[in-house]
Structure 1
Amino acid sequence: MGRIVLQAFITLDGVVQGGGGPEEDPSGDFPYGGWALDWDAEHDDGSDDSLVLDWESRTEALLLGRTTYDIWARSWGVWDEDAPGLEGELTRRYNRVPKYVVSRTVTELGWQNSFLLGPDVADEVARLRDEIDGEIRIWGSTELVRTLAAADLIDEYRLMVYPLVLGTGKKLFPDGFPHQRLTLESTRPLASGVLVNVYRRG
């Protein structure tokens, strides 16, 4: 049986939108695209890469909403697998693992090993968790996260908390998010000033 693990770059005020670059998710005229990338460029000496590689070495499948899938397919889906360091390692990994996508509008997926889930998302994801041995990783996909949380299907929240307050943007836990009772499994400060908190279902 697998475990569904959400990973997110998140600010102190709960924003998860557009951390990877200015064009990643500019919806709602979000003005701070690339905030996580900018912080890492200024504060990270590269020593934190081993943590991400360790996490992603356990990824046996990806679970993505349509917007996140589109972003990833345009990046990890086309980047060079032979690139040095973290980029090449993750590109190889993400190309090979199955990617399960939730969408009401998309009918075809171009990125290799990508599969559309049916309309009953909670049942489909519960089936995947029974069938896949290992971690099923969610990145981003705030609407999907809310749906799965309502069905009590998220086993772990891995949050990389950046010491930033943006004051605007999509939040991981907006008003109306399903009630959750979590247990703090671990906390770890990184050299960049980011705090890694891991929570599991209580």
Structure 2
Amino acid sequence: MGKIVISENVSLDGVVQDPVGAEGFRFAGWFDRLERKDREAWAGVEFEEALTTDALLLGRRTYEWFVAQGWATRDGGWADRLRAVPKYVVSSTLTDLEWNSTVLKGDLVDEVSRLKQEVAGDVVLYGSGRVAHALIEHDLADELRLMVCPFALGEGERLFGRTDALKALRLVEHRAVGDSIVRLTYRPLRDA
């Protein structure tokens, strides 16, 4: 059985919106304001994660960003790994995908539940804020890996939106990444 992992870059105040400046958000590109040393340390951790990822789960906009940014044709071990991993894209509009990808068109809860049964290992969600919200709301996320960046934005879409119930989590790992980033890993306490 697979494990659904939400892996996100977040500001100190939980904002996930437009970290690289692709959406026109007021604080667009906030992630790019990290110092070079921190971005390099971040890239190392992300590459490690990619090596243990068995599949990627992406929303339509994140998928399109990945393809537009050239991940499908980049060189290097990280790009090679991302190319090789199967990708599952949540979309009601996309039909013809490239880059070793499959569209999940049905009900998100049903599709992700089925995916958890079919893929052994980590199914990692990058970006895809709307999908992340739904996975959290429906208790489908088995782990959250948050790269907390040293910015307080004060506005923007947050990882945790409104919810119908309290979501209890347990910190299972914390790690400094570079001089300014902290990676926090949480797992849900489903019986809490």
TM over 0.5: yes
Note if contact 2:38-2:181 (Cα within 8 Å) is conserved in structure 1: no
Q: Which runs of 5+ in 1 are unaligned?
A: 82-87
Question: How far is 1:113 from its partner?
Answer: 1.0
Tell me, in whole angstroms, the C-alpha distance in 2 between the residues paired with 1:148 and 1:140: 13
> In 1, Cα distance between the equivalents of 2:32 and 2:111?
33
CA change 1:58–1:171 in 2 (3 A) is same
C-alpha separation in 2, matches of 1:192 and 1:140: 23
Q: 1:56 to 1:45 in 2, by over 3 A?
A: closer
Q: Does the 8 Å CA contact 2:88/2:103 hold for their aligned counterparts?
A: yes
Residue 173 of structure 1, CA deviation: 0.9
The answer to whether residue 26 in structure 2 is matched with residue 31 in structure 1 is yes
Post-superposition shift, 1:132?
1.0
Other structure's SS at 1:46 match: helix
Amino acid at match of 1:198: T
* Residues 45-194 of structure 1: pairs in structure 2 closer than 5 A: 46-81=40-75, 88-109=76-97, 111-176=98-163, 179-194=166-181
Superposition deviation, residue 178 in structure 1: 5.3
CA offsets, 1:63-119, max 9 Å, x none?
Answer: 0111111111112444322xxxxxx2221111111111111222222x221111132
Among all aligned residue pairs of Structure 1 and Structure 2, give the percentage whose two residues are the same amino acid.
Answer: 36
Q: CA RMSD in A?
A: 1.8
Normalised to the residue count of structure 1, the TM-score between the two structures is 0.86
Report how far residue 60 of structure 1 moved.
Answer: 1.0
For normalisation by structure 2, the TM-score amounts to 0.90
**Paired residue secondary structure (2:34):** helix
Runs of 4+ residues over 6 Å off in structure 1? none
State the aligned residue count.
189
Comparing 187-196 and 63-72, the one that deviates more? 187-196
